[in-house]
Chain A
Amino acid sequence: MQKKKMSMARFRQYIPLYIMMLPGVVYLFINNYIPMAGIVVAFKKYNVNDGIFASPWNGVENFRYLFSTSEAGVIIRNTLLYNIAFIIVNMVVGIMLAIFISDVFSKKLKKLYQSSILLPFLISIVVVSYIVFALLSHENGMMNKSVLPALGQEPVQWYNDTTWWPLIIIVTNCWKGVGYGTLIYIAAIAGIDQGYYEAAELDGANKWQQITRITLPCLIPSIITLLLMNIGRIFYSDFGLFYQVPQNSGSLFSVTNTIDTYVYRALMSSGGIGRSSAAGLFQSVVGFTLVMVSNLIVRKASPENAIF
Chain B
Amino acid sequence: MDICVCIKRYPSLGSAIMLTDDGMAIDTDKLGFTLSPHEECAVEAAVQLKEEHGGTVTLISMGPEGVEEQIREQFAIGADRAIWIRSDSTDIDPQAAAKAIGDAIEADETAFDLILLGSESADNANAQTGVRLAHRLGRPVATAIKGMTIADGVATCERAVGTMREVYRVRLPAVVTVKDGLNIPRYPSVPGRIKARKKPIDEVAADLDGARIQLKGLPAPIRESKGAQALGAGDEAADALVDVMKQIGVLS
The reply to whether chain A is a binding partner of chain B is: no
